Amino acid sequence: MSNLNENTRRKFIKNAVTGAAAIGVGGILPGFSAKSYANILGANDKVRVASMGVNARGLALATNFAAQNNCEVIYVCDVDTRAADKCISRVSEIQGRKPKAEGDFRKALEDKNLDALVVATPDHWHAPAAILASKAGKHVYLEKPCGHNPNEGELLIKAVDKYKNIIQMGNQRRSWPNVVAGIKELHDGVIGKPYFAKTWYTNNRPSIGTGKVTAIPSWLNYDLWQGPAPRKEFKDNLIHYNWHWFWHWGTGEALNNGTHMVDIARWGLKVDYPTKVSSNGGRYRYQDDWETPDTQVINMEFANKCAITWEGRSCNGSPVEGANVGVIFFAENGSLQIDGDNGYKIYDLKGKLLKEVKNETQVNSGSLTNPSQALDAIHIQNFFNAIKKGEKLNADIVSGHQSTLLVQLGNIAQRIGASLEIDPKNGRILNSAAAKKLWSREYQKGWEPTV
């Protein structure tokens, strides 16, 4: 466990024990020891969460939440009984208490003792689950992307406005100390005015082949897995990870990994909505069921004379600027690069390294599920502090929607084969009926998300 978590634990226990001792001196319930009071106070102070979707990234999140001493995972919710059993075992070992298995997360939302829902499901469930949790009076920790389509992001903003709950998006780098410091240097003018941010992600993903319609496995509630998405037959190459590459459930590499670095780029350039978005690419490497691009370049232009590009290569892991994932800002007097870890580099106009702030915490940018547990704990604690103390979120749903929207617009441009003109006031698509049809999606009857 990180030093941050150790310090949090010590402070938490110290405060609990001190408070218990003070009550004990007053003679209230004298049969209880200070340790007993500490346990009671600790339980009352903890944020109680339900983890929804715990097979891969969700398992990493559930164990990270369980490792926080001001949190207890009280429900594990998954349509895969195998994944749920594995997660319950891991969480129980970490927190010393066994969470309850609940195949249908909606039942967990009925528990008045539940404070928050952690959503790490396939993309088509992100916004609908978060909206249902908001209606139930729960806070939400929502993995990226915030929605399957732009309309869902707007619905999430309306939900927070209406239900006054907290929704923290999983743009964890917004809380990483050295990334924050690097962006501050950029904003303070260390390389002058930045005007272009280049972002990228590369990997060597294999072919997913051609799926066959088969019987639904006994361990899977496929109907609930589909949830808000119109029903399709079960195929053997869909679950658990390959849904990312089907438009019906997923959003491709652009939202799977592009969201993170495009968010940093938007943050660094101080921009919200673009004026123009275009995309080029396709499924080039293999001929299989994969629908979304495995090679894609998205271009985004903004009104204040700056631009962002995102390059995604799912099937060729050759690095860009020396890294497999990253963002580099180009400005009047040099450049500033942030890779997948918690560090940054500053260069002059000739490419000479002027400053390097190195990462002190191990980050495995190649990990698909848990590249940065200790650093992500900072983001989780920011979520808790927003709930308990009113602290400002590092990645609220408005910024989450704005960053998600940039790559969503890229995918829409890709799918219709044309550049998009965008209203910079709200991010809405202008002058394209074909593009506007992709602003939302068709839902299974009775599952439509509403605020």
Whole-number Å distance between alpha carbons of 334 and 325: 20
pLDDT, mean of residues 167-181: 96
Alpha carbon of 149 to those of 125, 152, 179, 443, 448: distances in Å?
A: 11, 6, 28, 12, 13
In a shared domain, residues 59 and 131: yes
- The larger pLDDT score, comparing residue 20 to residue 434, is at 434
Q: Is the pLDDT confidence value at 251 over 80?
A: yes
In a shared domain, residues 35 and 84: yes
In a shared domain, residues 55 and 182: no
In a shared domain, residues 217 and 113: no
In a shared domain, residues 251 and 359: yes
Residue 382 within any structural domain of the chain: no
pLDDT, mean of residues 358-373: 62
* Overall number of domains in the chain: 2
Whole-number Å distance between alpha carbons of 399 and 394: 9
Residue 385 within any structural domain of the chain: no
Domain boundary among 172, 207, 241: 172
pLDDT, mean of residues 70-91: 98
Domain boundary among 172, 199, 227: 172
In a shared domain, residues 50 and 96: yes
Which residue range forms the structural domain that includes residue 223?
174-363+397-436
Residue 134 within any structural domain of the chain: yes
Q: Is the pLDDT confidence value at 133 over 80?
A: yes
In a shared domain, residues 151 and 168: yes
CATH number at residue 114: 3.40.50.720
User: Confidence class of residue 22 from pLDDT cuts 50, 70 and 90?
Assistant: very low
pLDDT, mean of residues 311-323: 97
pLDDT, mean of residues 416-438: 97
| 223-227, 357-361, 366-370, range with the lowest pLDDT | 366-370
Domain boundary among 145, 172, 199: 172
Residue 303 within any structural domain of the chain: yes
pLDDT in tens, 184-209: 999 999 999 999 999 999 999 999 99
In a shared domain, residues 278 and 412: yes
Residue 445 within any structural domain of the chain: no
Name the amino acid, one letter, at 326: G
pLDDT value of position 28: 29
pLDDT value of position 32: 32
In a shared domain, residues 145 and 178: no
| 8-12, 307-311, 369-373, range with the lowest pLDDT | 8-12
pLDDT value of position 365: 53
User: Confidence class of residue 45 from pLDDT cuts 50, 70 and 90?
Assistant: confident
CATH number at residue 289: 3.30.360.10
What pTM, to 2 d.p., does this model score? 0.88
Residue 195 contacts residue 307 (beta carbons within 8 Å):
yes
Residue 386 within any structural domain of the chain: no
Alpha carbon of 341 to those of 121, 177, 293, 358: distances in Å?
A: 25, 11, 26, 9
Q: Is the pLDDT confidence value at 41 over 70?
A: no
In a shared domain, residues 153 and 185: no
Residue 67 within any structural domain of the chain: yes
Name the amino acid, one letter, at 205: R
Alpha carbon of 94 to those of 8, 53, 62, 90, 278: distances in Å?
A: 16, 18, 10, 6, 46
User: Confidence class of residue 73 from pLDDT cuts 50, 70 and 90?
Assistant: very high
pLDDT value of position 364: 56
In a shared domain, residues 32 and 138: yes
| 145-154, 198-207, 366-375, range with the lowest pLDDT | 366-375
pLDDT, mean of residues 331-358: 96
In a shared domain, residues 99 and 210: no
Average pLDDT over all residues of the chain: 90
Residue 29 within any structural domain of the chain: yes
